[in-house]
Amino acid sequence: MWSKAQVLSADFALAASAFLLSAGLIYFFWLQVIEEARDAKEILELSRAVRRVAGTLLTEGVPQYWNASTVQSLGLCNEGKLNETKVLSLWEIGYDRLKELLGIGAHEFWMAGKSVGGEVVEVDGKKFEFGLWPQGAAQVSKATRLSVLKGKVVVLEVVLWK
Amino acid sequence: MRGFVFTLDVLIGVCLLLAALFMMPSLTFTLPTQRYEHLSTVAEDVLNVLSVLSAVESNLPTVQKLRGTLSDVELNKSMLDLIASLWYAGNQSLAQNLSKEALEPYPHCFNLTIDGELIYQSCPYAGQSIATASRLETGYEVGKPVFGYVARAWLLSIENKTTQRVIDFNPQGSSYQRGRAFEVTKYFELPQNISILNGTFYVSLHYGSSQAAAEFISLLVNRVQLKAKVNWLYLKQLPGLPIYGTAAFGVLDVTQYLRPGENEVEVVIGTPELYHSHLHPGMRIVTTYKTNQTEWQYNESFRQRLYFDDVIGIRGVWNVFPFFIPPGATNVSAVLHLKAEGIENRLPQYVEGEWHEDVEVYLNSDDPIFVDPTPLPNPEYTLNLTPYLQNGTNVLSVFMNCYGDVAWGSDRNRIYSNPFNEPELSSYVELSYQLKALPTLGYLQVDLTREVLYNSEPSNPKQASFNTSRPVIQSFNHLATGFSSMVELKARGEEWVEVYESANVREVPTTIYISPQVFTIGKNYVWVRDFQPTGSTSLYNEILPWSSIEYTILVPAAVGYGDVFANRTQAIEDAVQRLLTLLQSYGIEFDPGQVQIQDKTVGGIRWLWGPSLFKLSAWERQ
């Protein structure tokens, strides 16, 4: 005849092991979910930020016809089209100053003007491609807008990443 | 045994939980708002591209085909401008092709409309989420010059404008002796170069009782006897007293007997057994004719000689003679020249409570402005009426050897007038005044005169109305009565206004001037009452339905600048057509070929379509 203590210890050991295993797994995955939710929120914010930046680039900026030394607010268009001079001023303004003007804080960015076929267009011999391409980025978000540059439809791609 | 079952349950539960946890990170989804935002951005951007990218830059196949057909200016229009221009020019297939080629490169479905009309839709189905961008655009019409012509036009004359004129016969008489007739001859002029369309003669008189020689004897229009043509509309005798004669009102068509220029009407009326025959208020000829209407000419100085009718009475002669001075007239003056024959120098007569002399002249009062107790047989008077004048209706009453219903002459008397042959020797009132401005008179307008009958049944008092869509610039009331004594007339536009009240017995003028300021656009009224000298409403005196309101309105005779046309001729043709349509809308009948129109064109007018609302809707392809 079995004693209660013997039965209890074997069952208990098995049950406790199963419970601890499952509790540990639950805790592990819970942490993962929390992490992913945090990432998703950041991606959403990044997505909003990149749309805002793309929208800003399609404005005229301040002043209306700014140059690298007078620009207060960035915008590459005049009369609804991309202004070639303003596009060329991007290189003159420089990456860090552009980040300030676009208000993107700790994020990095990349932008390019492409034809509808997907080729990067040239402006005065320069490829309309500017900024840092996301390499090894934890989060990346892209926005595309349409505009006109030198009589051609241009797809303006903006990528924000960190 | 129970322990194993328990452990297995736990393991199953844990597996399920783990499965759920593994699945969770892979469950990604896109919020509907994000999808809509994206579509909205696409629609906005594509519409913006269409509105800023020129057609020539796009180099689309349809644009290439249009090279050579369209000018460089037109090809430099934006895509949206060219699409709309082609659409409004009727080239809808070209507009659709261009839209298709412009929207094809993008990976979305689109729907492009202009003012609600579908130009192009790229997918035959609708999306779950559709975003729409809109833009208000305007542009030059394709196939037409950027600059065109506009024209306006106004009338110089209408050679065949239909208008009316009313020729009044004043109440006048009389023949007081049984069996003897009195005669009235009226001389009047109609404008030259008119075409008479209609002439209606309203005959209103008091004739004798049923004795052959004492009734209505003769009615000559330009020496043609028309007595038998009168259609009597109203015949009334005092109850039980036929010997007082008959108040009669009739009508006849005199269209073919009137003529442009000088006209002459002679009426001979027999006498009642116990009363006197005379003309009643309401006797008039209404003529409708086509005339040359020149551009409205406004004169500051007005001078007119108004002639009496030539009237031959028996035992006495009288005339109630109305004339009119418009409100605002200045430097008003009037002179009466009165020439009479057969007047007798008799003792004063006591009539209606007062003594009356052989010649009495009243103006707007029951106190005479002139009396001659000892007249010559053929007197001639020149009287200054100026001190007694008033604005509006003035009523001059001349009595010779009679007053009211009483006469004391013994034979033939005459107030002489023959303006065609002896204008200076005729009896007349010469009226002059100045008008500094008449605000209702407008430039480039045509005057139209209309006469509206009272209608309905004879009654006393009586009310009538008329409608007008244009401001009234001149108005008269033409009174037609049976028996009459004295009258008062009120008119109402916004509110009732006292217009006229007889100051003296028998002072019932056929025509009463009503200030046009009384009337308003819309419905207007007049109200007339016949009353006795005591003020009480007359029992047997009636206002007849053939009384009328005559009013003149000015209608626009000019149209402003219209649409833009490629050349001057087209612009003028359009302006002329608009002018003719306008005139016809006011019932002005004319032959368009006989309208003299002045036009003016202005070149260099931008030729635009729109503004039109474009809407571009975007949704995901399936």
Helix (H, G, I), strand (E, B) or coil at B552: strand
Asked if B25 lies within 8 A of A80 by C-beta distance, the reply is no
The DSSP bridge partners found for residue B528 are B462, B489
Average confidence (pLDDT) over B441-462? 80
With both helix axes pointing from N to C terminus, report the angle between A95-102 and A84-93 in degrees, rounded to the nearest 10. 110
Tokens describing residue B409: 């002459």
Per-residue pLDDT band for B297 (boundaries 50, 70, 90) equals very low
Cα dihedral angle (B15, B20, B21, B25), rounded to 10 degrees? 150
Q: Could you give the percent of chain B with pLDDT greater than 70?
A: 85
pLDDT of residue B295: 42
Tokens describing residue B548: 């009328």
| Stated length of chain A | 162
Angle among Cα B144, B145, B149 to the nearest 5 degrees reads 105
pLDDT higher than threshold 50 for residue B296: no
**Cα B216 from Cα B371, distance rounded (Å):** 33
* B48 in contact with A, Cβ within 8 Å: yes
* Mutation site, A153, A154, A157, A158, interface B, largest B CB count within 10 A: A153
Angle among Cα B131, B132, B135 to the nearest 5 degrees reads 155
Of A51-65, B107-121, B438-452, B547-561, the poorest mean pLDDT is in B438-452
Cα dihedral angle (B14, B19, B21, B23), rounded to 10 degrees? -170
Task: Give per-residue pLDDT as tens, B413-447.
Answer: 999 999 999 999 999 999 998 876 554 444 566 77
| Per-residue DSSP letter, B377 | S
Q: State the DSSP string of B449-480.
A: EEEEE--S--BSSEEEEEEESS-EEEEEEE--
What Cα–Cα distance (Å) separates residue B174 from each residue in A150, B92, B227, B479? 101, 83, 19, 20
Question: B621: closest CA among B123, B99, B121, B32?
Answer: B123
| Per-residue DSSP letter, B362 | E
| Better-predicted residue by pLDDT, B49 or B144 | B49
Q: Does residue B198 contact residue B255 with C-beta atoms inside 8 Å? A: yes
Per-residue pLDDT band for B117 (boundaries 50, 70, 90) equals confident
Of B209-218, B234-243, B400-409, B514-523, the poorest mean pLDDT is in B209-218
| Residues of chain A contacting residue B25, judged by C-beta atoms under 8 Å apart | 32-33, 36
| Better-predicted residue by pLDDT, B297 or A150 | A150
The tens-digit pLDDT sequence of chain A (162 residues) is 445 555 567 777 888 888 898 888 888 888 888 888 887 788 888 888 999 999 999 999 999 999 999 999 999 999 999 999 999 999 999 999 999 999 998 899 999 999 988 999 999 999 999 999 998 888 899 999 999 999 999 999 999 998
**Cα B65 from Cα B85, distance rounded (Å):** 16
Q: Does residue B280 contact residue B196 with C-beta atoms inside 8 Å? A: no
In degrees and rounded to multiples of 5, residue B222 shows phi and psi of 50, 45
Helix (H, G, I), strand (E, B) or coil at A7: helix
Question: B420: closest CA among B190, B166, B189?
Answer: B189
| Residues of chain A contacting residue B11, judged by C-beta atoms under 8 Å apart | 18
Q: Does residue B497 contact residue B490 with C-beta atoms inside 8 Å? A: yes
* Radius of gyration of chain A measured on its C-alpha atoms: 27
**Cα B284 from Cα B192, distance rounded (Å):** 20
Residue reference for tokens 């993962």: A32
Tokens describing residue B206: 């008091």
H-type helices in B214-262, by residue range? Answer: none
Asked if A146 lies within 8 A of B18 by C-beta distance, the reply is no
* B37 in contact with A, Cβ within 8 Å: yes
pLDDT of residue B1: 47
pLDDT of residue B473: 84
Q: State the DSSP string of B258-317.
A: --SEEEEEEEEE---SSS-EEEPTT-EEEEEEEEEEESP---SEEEEEEEPPEEEEES-E
pLDDT higher than threshold 80 for residue B523: yes
Q: Does residue B87 contact residue B62 with C-beta atoms inside 8 Å? A: no
| Better-predicted residue by pLDDT, B558 or B64 | B64
pLDDT of residue B158: 61
Per-residue pLDDT band for B574 (boundaries 50, 70, 90) equals confident
Tokens describing residue B480: 């037609």
**Cα B401 from Cα B314, distance rounded (Å):** 10
Q: Does residue A60 contact residue A78 with C-beta atoms inside 8 Å? A: yes
Asked if B21 lies within 8 A of A151 by C-beta distance, the reply is no
Question: B221: closest CA among B173, B271, B184, B193?
Answer: B184
**Cα B23 from Cα A54, distance rounded (Å):** 34
| Per-residue DSSP letter, B390 | -
Helix (H, G, I), strand (E, B) or coil at B46: helix
What Cα–Cα distance (Å) separates residue A133 from each residue in A108, B10, B271, B287, B601? 9, 49, 123, 97, 64
| Better-predicted residue by pLDDT, B161 or A90 | A90
Task: Give per-residue pLDDT as tens, B231-284.
Answer: 999 988 888 887 788 889 999 999 999 999 999 999 998 888 778 889 999 999
Q: End-to-end alpha-carbon separation of chain A, Å?
A: 68
| Residues of chain A contacting residue B13, judged by C-beta atoms under 8 Å apart | 22
Q: Does residue B393 contact residue B512 with C-beta atoms inside 8 Å? A: yes
* Mutation site, B15, B30, B45, B104, interface A, largest A CB count within 10 A: B45
In degrees and rounded to multiples of 5, residue B90 shows phi and psi of 95, 0
pLDDT of residue B229: 94
Cis peptide before A63 (omega within 30 of 0): yes
pLDDT of residue B610: 64
pLDDT of residue B439: 45
Q: Does residue B381 contact residue B372 with C-beta atoms inside 8 Å? A: yes
pLDDT higher than threshold 50 for residue B167: yes
| Residues of chain B contacting residue A29, judged by C-beta atoms under 8 Å apart | 18, 21-22, 24
Per-residue pLDDT band for B146 (boundaries 50, 70, 90) equals low
Tokens describing residue B488: 């008062």
| Residues of chain B contacting residue A51, judged by C-beta atoms under 8 Å apart | 37, 41
Average confidence (pLDDT) over B194-203? 92
Average confidence (pLDDT) over B67-91? 84
**Cα A25 from Cα B14, distance rounded (Å):** 9
**Cα B442 from Cα B447, distance rounded (Å):** 10
Asked if B21 lies within 8 A of A81 by C-beta distance, the reply is no
pLDDT of residue B160: 59
Task: Give per-residue pLDDT as tens, B252-267.
Answer: 999 999 999 999 999 9
Task: Give per-residue pLDDT as tens, B480-503.
Answer: 999 999 999 999 999 999 999 998
**Cα B427 from Cα B381, distance rounded (Å):** 9
Average confidence (pLDDT) over B589-596? 61
